[in-house]
């Protein structure tokens, strides 16, 4: 009986260790991907809803958090409460948090802010394509590349009437795109880089 319990414990321990290792590997992979994405988008990357941030005050575990940016662009952090992270660069957010925490943390405040997961860089390809849906960007892509990732226009598509729907502030822009012309090497300037939230619609 004792031997059976010992073997059962070892199996449980091995399974638990394996699960922990898998979760650690997953977290490490996500962090590495986020770092690679940030290299692509540059230091002027603007934080968006769904992004996961790591905020850490050196030698103060109570002020170390991983937070997800809410749909309204806000996060919550100890001592500070709510603050807007969406639309800011990592550097801008770091300066703001440092200023607010300096009221409570005496001297030698060492703060680290980093993006752990980039989940807000999304575009949508809809309509008559072979694989419509949402795409999470891992690099800068243009309209033609996005259409290729969606499998390309299907046989029912009006390829000369493709539209990119973009929101800039309070304005909604409609940008025309002619698939046949661009693939023929014409009007290449219309093959624009896509931005967060863009919708490529193929009628």
Query: How confident is the chain (203 residues) per 10-residue block, as mean pLDDT?
Result: 47 46 50 60 85 93 94 95 95 95 85 92 96 90 96 96 93 96 96 95 98
Q: Report if residue 25 sits inside a domain.
A: no
Phi, psi of 153 (to 5 degrees): -60, 145
151 is written with which tokens?
A: 């499998």
H helical segments located in 71-134: 90-101
Can you give the pLDDT at residue 7? Answer: 44
Q: Report if residue 105 sits inside a domain.
A: yes
Query: Domain limits at 70?
Result: 52-117
Q: Report if residue 42 sits inside a domain.
A: no
180 is written with which tokens?
A: 């046949």
Q: Report if residue 27 sits inside a domain.
A: no
What is the number of domains present in the chain?
2
Can you give the pLDDT at residue 161? Answer: 97
d(CA 146, CA 183): 14
Can you give the pLDDT at residue 44? Answer: 82
**C-alpha distance from residue 37 to each of 50, 53, 62, 114 (Å):** 15, 14, 29, 12
Can you give the pLDDT at residue 109? Answer: 87
- Kindly state whether residues 190 and 171 are assigned to the same domain: yes
Can you give the pLDDT at residue 108? Answer: 82
- The whole-model pTM stands at 0.69
Can you give the pLDDT at residue 124? Answer: 97
Per-residue exposure over 24-63, b if at least 16 CB sit within 10 Å of its own CB, e if not: eeeeeeebeebeebeeebeeebbbbbbbbbbbbbeeeeeb
Can you give the pLDDT at residue 107? Answer: 75
* Residue after which a domain boundary falls, among 87, 117, 147: 117
Classify residue 129 by its DSSP letter: B
CATH number reported for the structural domain that contains residue 69 in this entry? 3.30.1950.10
């Amino acid at each position: 009986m004792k031997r059976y319990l010992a073997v059962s414990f070892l199996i449980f321990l091995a399974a638990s260790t394996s699960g922990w290792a898998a979760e650690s590997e997953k977290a490490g992979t996500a962090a590495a991907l986020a770092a690679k994405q940030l290299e692509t988008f540059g230091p002027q990357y603007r934080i968006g809803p769904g992004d996961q941030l790591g905020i850490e005050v050196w030698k103060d575990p109570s002020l170390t958090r991983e937070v997800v940016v809410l749909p309204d662009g806000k996060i919550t952090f100890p001592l500070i409460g709510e603050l807007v992270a969406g639309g800011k660069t990592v550097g801008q957010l770091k300066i703001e948090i440092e200023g607010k925490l300096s009221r409570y943390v005496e001297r030698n405040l060492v703060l680290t802010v980093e993006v752990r997961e980039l989940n807000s860089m999304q575009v949508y390809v809809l309509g008559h394509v072979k694989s419509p849906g949402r795409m999470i960007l891992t690099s800068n892509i243009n309209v033609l590349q996005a259409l290729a990732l969606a499998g390309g226009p299907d046989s029912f598509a009006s390829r000369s009437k493709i539209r990119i729907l973009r929101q800039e502030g309070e304005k909604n822009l409609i940008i025309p795109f002619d698939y046949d012309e661009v693939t023929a090497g014409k009007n290449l300037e219309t093959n624009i880089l896509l931005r967060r939230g863009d919708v490529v619609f193929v009628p």
